[in-house]
Amino acid sequence: MSYRTAPVEIREKLALNGRGVDEAYDFLTKCDGIEGTVILSTCNRTEIYITTRDIEKSKGAIKSFFEDYMQIKYEEISPYLYQPSCHDAIYHLFKVASGLDSMVLGETQIIGQVKDAYQKARDLGVTEGVLNTLFQKAIYVGKRVRTETMIDQHPVSVSYAAVELARNILGSLTDKTVMVIGAGEMSKLATEYLVQNGASSVIVSNRSYDKALELAERFKGKAVKFDEMEKYLLVSDIIISCTSANHYVIRWDNCSNALKKRDGRKIIMIDIAVPRDIDPLLKDINGVFVYDIDDLQNVVDTSYLMRQKAARKAQKIIDEEIEQFNEWLSCLYVVPVIKALRNRGEEIKQKELGRAFNRLGNLSEREMKVIVSMANSIVNQLLHFPIINLKEMALGNQGHMYAELTKKLFALEVDEEEQDKYVGFEIRD
């Protein structure tokens, strides 16, 4: 689920952070059919990546996750979900890591979020070889895109878009007072852009006063305690809020009186948190403008055209890397199966040749060669098209399924050490 498929009020129902992620992993790893999983949960998306050998069983596990763990009826959210499989999912993750699927094209934060999500899952021991390789490759692709296209050098991040929205309404940020609620990365970026664009005074409020103090000192601003936030609404022109709270931080009951005392003086309240920090009802107060993260989609900088140009170049890079990864994935599934299939053919051939020679008695060397040649020809012709077709199918979206089907049809046992040789794709830093 992402901003492309669901509004913020739906996305916030599926937002996972803190201990919620640990508990979600605990639930998912106990589901039958799921071999590995990574959860990517940001302001704009909640995505669950899994590796499985039984797609239908795993889809059932995901449905159970929503209904039994998240306590959400699947029918209510299914219209907002996208469910790509195998190569489509790989392609999607590469685009996400490269910033091509972000609300603000080419945003910088997402690659760090992908890296953190993967590291979290790996630290908890819920990934496996294929998933490790996929995320390492995705992170590499994201880095390569930014290095070769400079897509993130044109300042249009979510934080920058928030600043542009404030500028569009106030006309100028010069001599404006800004209060930033939350001291995370998004808040730091917003503060940096505000100062660069003329904000004269910065106030930082955070539940952890030490973190607020640290951010305020960085920009020569003022740190205030969280319970003192209300009185500073009287002197602020812009509010940027991005905390990890699971409820409104700026509410009608704790902030409406202060906002009414402004007597209609404009104050821009920009909520870039999911779940939302600011009660949208506050916009009913004269002079108060409230915007959430979805509103930022309409704020674009002139440099967005440059990002679109860079995105076209990035797409070519992703296509190259997808082809390389697909070749690796094909080898992972197909090569060990083909070897096992040939070994099975050789095993049957040798067994039947031994039985035939015992029954036929004394044979000349020429007769034995003719029989061996015939047995080789039969096995090779019988396996020729299955092997050729398996190689071709491996390059498609369902290649891994055909490999599994071949294993079942011929009762093949693939050597785990043989298959493990193909896990561990070399990722260039």
Note whether 176 and 236 are within 8 A (CB): no
Q: Give the whole-angstrom CA distance, residue 282 versus residue 100.
A: 34
Q: Give the whole-angstrom CA distance, residue 308 versus residue 336.
A: 42
Strands 34-41 and 201-206: unpaired
- Please name every residue paired with 36 in a beta bridge, in sequence order, or none if there are none: 51
pLDDT value at residue 425: 44
Note whether 318 and 98 are within 8 A (CB): yes
Q: Give the whole-angstrom CA distance, residue 132 versus residue 143.
A: 17
pLDDT (tens digit, 0 to 9) for every residue of the chain, 429 residues total? 999 999 998 998 888 877 789 999 999 999 988 999 999 999 889 999 999 888 888 989 999 999 999 999 999 999 999 998 888 999 999 999 999 999 888 888 899 999 999 999 999 999 998 899 999 999 999 999 999 999 887 656 677 777 778 888 888 888 899 999 988 887 788 788 888 888 889 999 998 999 899 989 988 899 999 888 888 999 999 999 989 899 999 999 999 999 999 999 999 999 988 899 999 999 999 999 999 888 876 665 556 788 889 999 999 999 999 988 887 887 777 888 888 899 999 999 999 999 999 998 888 999 999 999 999 999 999 999 988 888 888 776 667 778 888 888 888 887 656 555 555 444 443
155 preceded by cis ω (within 30°)? Answer: no
Q: Give the whole-angstrom CA distance, residue 95 versus residue 98.
A: 5
Cβ-based neighbours of 67, under 8 Å, separated by 6 or more: 73, 74
pLDDT value at residue 417: 60
Note whether 273 and 241 are within 8 A (CB): yes
Q: Which is it for the CA torsion 7, 13, 19, 22, positive or negative?
A: negative
Distances (CA, A) of 31 to 120, 130, 183: 19, 18, 37
Residue 203: name the closest of 240, 167, 174 by CA.
Answer: 240
pLDDT value at residue 13: 87
- Helices 109-123 and 185-196 pack at an angle, to 10 degrees, of 160
pTM across the whole model: 0.63
Catalytic choice (31, 43, 242, 255): 43
**Residue 236, helix vs strand vs coil:** coil
Cβ-based neighbours of 87, under 8 Å, separated by 6 or more: 322, 326, 329, 396, 397
DSSP 285-335: STTEEEE-GGGGGG---TTHHHHHHHHHHHHHHHHHHHHHHHHHHHHHHHH
86 tagged catalytic: no
Chain-centre distance for alpha carbon 78: 19
pLDDT value at residue 413: 83
Distances (CA, A) of 1 to 83, 243, 270, 309, 405: 9, 21, 23, 27, 31
